[in-house]
Structure 1
Amino acid sequence: MAAKFGTSGLRGLATELTGSTSALYATAFARYLLGNGLAKPGDMIAVAQDFRDSSPEIASTVMGSLKREGLVPIDCGRIPTPALALYAMSRGAAAIMITGSHIPADRNGIKFYRPDGEIGKADETAITELATDLASDPVATRVEEGSGDDHSAEAAALLFKRNSKILPASALSGLKIGVYQHSTVARETMVDIIRHYGAEAVALGWSDSFIPVDTEAVSPDTESLLLKWAGEHGLDAIISADGDGDRPLVADESGRPMRGDLLGLIASRFLRAEVVVTPVTSNSGIDAAGGFEVVRTRVGSPFVIAAMSEALGAGKGKVLGFEANGGLMLASDFSPEGREIGPLPTRDSFLPALAVLGTAAARKMSLSELAREYSLPVAAADRLENFATERSAALMAYLRGARDNLSAFLSPIGTVAEISDIDGLRVTLGDRRVIHFRPSGNAPEMRCYVEAPTADEADALLKQGLAAIAAWKP
């Protein structure tokens, strides 16, 4: 069982997930639901998928396994993850999303949802233990094709209804907004919702083959496309999402992507949040920028959701969370200007994008002008792909092993002033710049996050950090 849970769901090579592995984990999830009173025989369970080549086969196997365990799979088709979660929660049903999100096309993943929302780390541990116990069971690992009644239209319509009341009617009238469609399952709904609010939607970059778009570390190729389209079409903004539509990408009128944590901050103000939960990798300037309490967590939606639930349980009022990739999660009801928006404790790309577009439009500002109002440190992030997990673990063990190791590693970059070890190593340098090293929880990658006073300094620091990682030898 090479596949494993990462920061969000089960992940692995597509060749590892197709076949018996997907059958095994679907069986383990079904038995976990049934064994813990979260489902009973005959209950429906919603299944959806992204556009990866391997997703249909995995979805079929998952539905076959669920049916074998006495549950009733329903097929929600190729819809965004927030649409699946919203629809399943509205029906009091569990759900499974087949997606690898933003990771390379040769990989895939499975996300699991209880009837009350995305599973947490305790659920992951229990499901993994069940899968381990069942690994030699020929029934649990048997691959059977399955299908279910088509509920894709109902699920998509529910997401559209939710998004259609976030802004006032015609809030985006007069704007020309590009939608980078590539291979995200959010591509058609994004065009529809932009038009619903009165903007001219320009569909861009449709792809029949899967393109992994990382909204947290936007690739140079994607940046080039956005800059080109913004100039060619005279756009006020460009929006997009990752493969399963739960992480937003918003670029300003020049085609420059806005940081995901800035989108989250603007959305938090738009919604008048009282508590904001966000991982340690989000911009350090958020703590003083919003007028709300900020709770920091490890990276990964399960950690954010757990902290949101704790805050909600403590009676702290309007609670939401977001990640540095921009995915927004609502733990409580919100009502901007009287428009009711219900809880959705899983990442959503639509609400943060609409909040930013709506805020700029209401104030008659460009997105770049809006961004400049937030005097946050300039943040940047990137990753080294195909960086073996074992090598990442060895590097982190070395850096954590002794203060002298870390100081020597960073000596060409700066001196160590402060260290945070919430998730990876986040180092504040003597000149107050920040550099953060963290292995990916989803793929064989090392990620580097930086903050500095200017864009040039942030870019330079990021290059130095990535070069130091690449040059390190155990």
Structure 2
Amino acid sequence: MTRKLFGTDGVRGRANSYPMTADMALRLGAAAGRFFRRDASREHRVVIGKDTRLSGYMLENALTAGFTSTGMNVFLLGPVPTPAVGLLTPSMRADVGVMISASHNPAEDNGIKFFGPDGFKLSDAAEAEIEALVAGEVEPAQARNIGRAKRIDDGRFRYVERVKGTFPAGLTLEGLKVVIDCAHGAAYRAAPEVLWELGAEVIPVGVAPDGVNINAGVGSTHPQAAADRIRATGADVGICLDGDADRVILLDETGAVADGDQIMALLAARWADEGRLAGGQLAATVMSNLGLERFLAGRGIGLYRTAVGDRYVVEAMRAQGLNLGGEQSGHIVMTDYATTGDGLMAGLQFLAEMVRTKQPASALARSFEPVPQVLRNVRFGVGKAPLEMPQVRQAIAEGEARLGAEGRLLIRKSGTEPLIRVMAEAEDEALMVAVVDEIVGAVEAAL
């Protein structure tokens, strides 16, 4: 069963435009409610969280109407990180969890992500079934069986305590000065609370959401603001989250960036030394740097490559029995602690290594030398299929031939935005850039 509505991370688009309309959110809520409410003899629950986008109010109300129309009871968490929804769905014995967020995208966008009763994101097959229900007619509940809705005030506090519980017992962050950039997003209260309660001196950035400033010049996709604060305050380390706090980028004491690959390298090596790296390998996507693969191989650690998307990383981890995985973009998945990527938890693991080893962030944030890599994006219009155009396919084939065995080329359509992503990796940086420029030029010309 194919999916057209769902992308690699739920349903996403521009707010108040298809598919991110109130009508579609209502239909999605009703369809998901019918999909998960299969036993009318017991109470059925859904927990709904959101980030700080203005459109979250509209979508939250529409989803609530859809779910309650099928007899589901709705528990509204308010602004919480995406991983909080993954944690609280099974904790509250809910049948389904929903996060309203477009992650690192600008405020004009929004999205709807679903979690199953086990707290993990839904499979492609489950999303396809829900999509089929959206296209049809969903049978509503009888009038006396309509669901109820209420706000839950302690969702954030439950999450905060769970996150703090992942920090090694006996350690403290006392003496560490930490810049935390919350991207004016879902973790703007939870992340500073966790760090302060563990003993850190906290320097907050991006903690004043107004509905339209999420990810605007701050967060994991714009780490310069946090880097400036590090240099201005003499902080020891910076943690940059995205809008829904499921990804993280770290900054050392100089403001230099460590991406998800470097974080995974540090954790994998440490966990392998401690005998706690399940399966002896790490799951990461095809976007992860070749330098990471070489680093892991040098330590006898395997790298299991997956399709792009943290959901596919988690699926591979569960299938292969692994407990560590992630993406170069900063999704770090540690299934010993959480069901999806958690930027704050990953940041805490890095801080724990700083405390344990008594080394500065700069000594831990660069486990390997990355192979030169370049990524360029080309935006395209609705209804366009540039990767199917002959001139683009020819340019890709010629690029692959030029790189040969000395490099790697990956061209794909984004699952969350109308973009073609062109990525290349090669020791010969000039050749790599030339190949990417030619392919980007071919895509732009074809459009």
Structure 1 stretch 180-189 or stretch 18-27: which is displaced more? Answer: 180-189
Letter in structure 2 aligned against 1:472: A
Offset of residue 465 of structure 1: 6.7
Letter in structure 1 aligned against 2:106: P
CA distance in 2, matches of 1:294, 1:190: 30
Could you say which residue in structure 2 is the equivalent of 1:133?
136
1:195/1:201 contact within 8 Å kept = yes
Indicate how the Cα distance of structure 1 residues 161 and 346 shifts in structure 2: closer, same or farther if over 3 A, else same. Answer: closer
Letter in structure 2 aligned against 1:367: A
1:10 aligns with 2:11: yes
Letter in structure 2 aligned against 1:70: G
Could you say which residue in structure 1 is the equivalent of 2:189?
188
Taking the TM superposition and a 5 Å limit, the aligned residue runs for 1:16-415 are: 16=18, 17-35=20-38, 41-93=42-94, 94-116=96-118, 117-134=120-137, 148-209=149-210, 210-213=212-215, 222-271=222-271, 272-273=276-277, 274-290=280-296, 291-312=300-321, 318-331=322-335, 333=336, 342=337, 344-384=338-378, 386-388=379-381, 390-391=383-384, 393-398=385-390, 401=393, 404-408=394-398, 410=399
Structure 1 stretch 206-215 or stretch 107-116: which is displaced more? Answer: 206-215
Letter in structure 2 aligned against 1:53: L
Could you say which residue in structure 2 is the equivalent of 1:420?
none
CA distance in 1, matches of 2:365, 2:441: 31
2:70/2:140 contact within 8 Å kept = no
- SS at 2:154 equivalent: helix
Indicate how the Cα distance of structure 1 residues 270 and 379 shifts in structure 2: closer, same or farther if over 3 A, else same. Answer: farther
1:236/1:366 contact within 8 Å kept = yes
2:289/2:370 contact within 8 Å kept = yes
2:81/2:187 contact within 8 Å kept = yes
Offset of residue 138 of structure 1: 10
CA distance in 2, matches of 1:174, 1:109: 39
Q: Map Cα deviations across residues 168-191 of structure 1 (whole Å, 9 max, x no partner).
A: 444433221111133111122221
1:261/1:283 contact within 8 Å kept = yes
Offset of residue 444 of structure 1: 1.1
Q: Percent identical across equivalent pairs?
A: 24
Give the aligned length.
427
Structure 2 unaligned segments of length 5 or more: list them.
none
- SS at 1:29 equivalent: helix
CA distance in 2, matches of 1:436, 1:212: 30
CA distance in 1, matches of 2:242, 2:430: 28
CA distance in 2, matches of 1:204, 1:58: 27
Offset of residue 197 of structure 1: 2.9
Q: Scaled by the length of structure 1, what TM-score is found?
A: 0.80
Offset of residue 293 of structure 1: 2.9
CA distance in 2, matches of 1:462, 1:269: 34
Q: Scaled by the length of structure 2, what TM-score is found?
A: 0.84
Offset of residue 111 of structure 1: 0.6
- SS at 1:158 equivalent: helix
Indicate how the Cα distance of structure 1 residues 77 and 3 shifts in structure 2: closer, same or farther if over 3 A, else same. Answer: farther
Could you say which residue in structure 1 is the equivalent of 2:446?
473
CA distance in 2, matches of 1:60, 1:153: 20
CA distance in 1, matches of 2:264, 2:413: 23
Indicate how the Cα distance of structure 1 residues 158 and 473 shifts in structure 2: closer, same or farther if over 3 A, else same. Answer: closer
Structure 1 unaligned segments of length 5 or more: list them.
313-317, 334-341, 418-428
Indicate how the Cα distance of structure 1 residues 469 and 5 shifts in structure 2: closer, same or farther if over 3 A, else same. Answer: farther
Indicate how the Cα distance of structure 1 residues 373 and 162 shifts in structure 2: closer, same or farther if over 3 A, else same. Answer: closer
Structure 1 stretch 104-113 or stretch 367-376: which is displaced more? Answer: 367-376
CA distance in 2, matches of 1:310, 1:297: 12
Offset of residue 387 of structure 1: 2.6
Letter in structure 1 aligned against 2:445: W
Task: List 4+ stretches of structure 1 deviating above 4 A.
Answer: 137-140, 456-463
Offset of residue 281 of structure 1: 1.0
Indicate how the Cα distance of structure 1 residues 300 and 152 shifts in structure 2: closer, same or farther if over 3 A, else same. Answer: farther
Letter in structure 1 aligned against 2:387: L
CA distance in 2, matches of 1:28, 1:184: 28
Letter in structure 1 aligned against 2:244: D
Offset of residue 458 of structure 1: 10
Letter in structure 2 aligned against 1:375: E
Indicate how the Cα distance of structure 1 residues 378 and 360 shifts in structure 2: closer, same or farther if over 3 A, else same. Answer: farther
Letter in structure 1 aligned against 2:289: N
